[in-house]
Copies of this chain bind each other. A is one copy, B any other.
Amino acid sequence: MAKKIKYGLIGASGRLGSEVKNVFKDAGHELVFQLDIDGEKLTANPELLIDCSLPEVFEKSLGYQKKFQTPMVVATTGLSSGQLNQLKELGKNYPVVQSYNYSLGIQVLLKLAEVAYDKLKGWDIEITETHHRFKKDKPSGTAKMIQEVVKDKNVNPVSLRLGNVAGDHTIYFGGLGEVLSITHSATSRRTFAEGILKSAEFALEKEYGFYSFHDVVFEK
């Protein structure tokens, strides 16, 4: 973490973009290029590009990557499979990290669920997720990721909607005589920005390749 990174940020004024700026600043890195609805600001060529924007801006983002020839960390949600393929293609020549959820805790939860599932054959499984009342999709994307880990069991995640809860997820394993559960609670958006920082440092150490945040956390 010693080295100072000159980075570019697309979607700089959004909620996640703002957190990214804070976290990178605290880590001593320098924002040299930014793009948002107020336009473009360039003070030096970035050595890494972060995209926290929208699928509609995606072509533009790729254009900037082409211009700067840098590794990329992509946090934009709702990309089409075509757009994901473009990133995979890009990964043949540049390091690219792409994820819909840059929370370290969620990655660890997924890993723990995998380990537990492997050892607790025949146990019952339930998944719950709790989010704020304004969240309309059920179950959450993260609950679907957990569901995927135990897919042979056909578990239907259960959704609770309460106040302005940022996001809680639990997976339960129930045997005859014991219950084991793993719970993740998000308390602030900052955690996602920290995952992006970790991914940036990871990308800068690679030659090329298309990576998930799971790779960043678990690859040695």
A79 shortest CB reach to chain B, Å: 24
CB pair A116–B124 under 8 Å, yes or no, is no
CB pair A104–B124 under 8 Å, yes or no, is no
CB pair B115–A108 under 8 Å, yes or no, is yes
Which of A181-195 touch B at CB < 8 Å? 181-192, 194
Given A191-B175, A191-B178: A162 in contact with B108 (beta carbons within 8 A): no
Query: Does A150 interact with chain B (Cβ within 8 Å)?
Result: no
CB pair A163–B182 under 8 Å, yes or no, is no
A86 shortest CB reach to chain B, Å: 31
A190 and B165 alpha carbons, distance in the complex (Å): 13
Which of A116-130 touch B at CB < 8 Å? 116, 119-120, 123-124, 126, 128, 130
Produce 1/0 per residue, A16-32, CB < 8 A to B.
Answer: 00000000000000000
**What residue in chain B is nearest A125 (Cβ atoms)?**
B162
A192 and B112 alpha carbons, distance in the complex (Å): 23
Given A120-B104, A160-B172, A163-B123: A185 in contact with B178 (beta carbons within 8 A): yes
Q: How many copies does the complex hold?
A: 4
CB pair B187–A166 under 8 Å, yes or no, is yes
Query: Does A133 interact with chain B (Cβ within 8 Å)?
Result: yes
* Size category, A interface: 35 or more
Query: Does A161 interact with chain B (Cβ within 8 Å)?
Result: yes
**Chain B residues closer than 8 Å to A166, beta-carbon distance:** 187
**What residue in chain B is nearest A189 (Cβ atoms)?**
B177
**Chain B residues closer than 8 Å to A78, beta-carbon distance:** none
The one of B112, B163, B165, B175 that contacts A163, using a Cβ cutoff of 8 Å: B175
Produce 1/0 per residue, A80-104, CB < 8 A to B.
Answer: 0000000000000000000000011
CB pair A178–B124 under 8 Å, yes or no, is no
CB pair B104–A108 under 8 Å, yes or no, is no
A216 shortest CB reach to chain B, Å: 11
CB pair B183–A163 under 8 Å, yes or no, is no
Additional A-B contact list (7), CB under 8 Å, known A115-B115, A166-B187, A177-B186: A103-B178, A105-B180, A108-B119, A126-B162, A163-B187, A179-B185, A181-B182
